[in-house]
Amino acid sequence: MEGHPPAAPRQCPRLRGHRKLTRPLRQGQRGVCMNAEDYRILILRDLAGLALQLKAYPDESMLWQKTPGIGNAPGNIALHIAGNLQTYIGTELGQTGYVRDRDAEFARRDVPLATLLVELEAASSAVDDTLRQIDAARMPEAFPVKFGQVQPTTQRFLAHLCTHLAYHLGQVDYHRRITTGDGALEAIQSLAPLGD
């Protein structure tokens, strides 16, 4: 309206003091913040997508082939993702007691597909159980682990875990396409789980 200054950018209450939103909000409108349920849905969707990718290989031995430009075999990526999520969401947030062997995630070879799927299912259970129960007040608090000099909030570290999983899911997708000559899988990155 003429004579009125534009609305000032407002912040998500949980991010106050960190970063301004790029779009001004209207009076009474609240900032958008992801909560534990949002992270749970995204991580579970992408874990299911990773399982679909692994099952789409026509020969299990292909899960252990390295491809130029992709540093790790899909089997190792699956073990890494399962260990990563069981550690940081299961153990650190949910006190599951899972003990990670990160070196083994990258050193193991020829693990059967069925075993990889069991590991991904264990990660899915840890994510599902923990993020269903996490208190919203914990999201802006420091994540229980410090990484060098960085101690992110729980919310930011969950965002990191989502993007880390999506990065590796993309690696497996391109590895599968390169080694098999097959195209994209339709169900990967489906928006269906995102509906209310």
Beta bridge partners of 67: 70
- Mean per-residue pLDDT over the chain, rounded: 87
C-alpha to C-alpha distance for 85 and 120, rounded to whole angstroms: 9
Q: Which residue has the higher pLDDT, 15 or 100?
A: 100
Block residue for tokens 């407002």: 10
H-type alpha helices, 56-153: 74-85, 92-94, 102-107, 113-133
CA atoms of 33 and 18, how far apart (whole Å) = 13
pLDDT of residue 3: 54
Is the model's pLDDT at 148 over the cut of 80?
Answer: yes
What is the mean predicted confidence (pLDDT) over 74-98?
Answer: 98
Mean pLDDT of the region 82-92: 98
Domain boundaries, the chain: 1-33, 34-194
pLDDT recorded at residue 31: 46
Q: Using an 8 Å Cβ cutoff, are 190 and 129 in contact?
A: no
pLDDT at 70: 86
pLDDT at 77 over 60: yes
Say which CATH topology domain 34-194 has.
Answer: Four Helix Bundle (Hemerythrin (Met), subunit A) (1.20.120)
pLDDT at 18: 44
Bigger pLDDT: 36 vs 70: 36
pTM of the shown model: 0.82
Question: What pLDDT does 91 receive?
Answer: 98
CA Rg, the chain, in Å? Answer: 20
pLDDT in tens, 8-65: 443 444 444 444 434 454 554 444 578 999 999 999 999 999 999 999 999 999 999 9
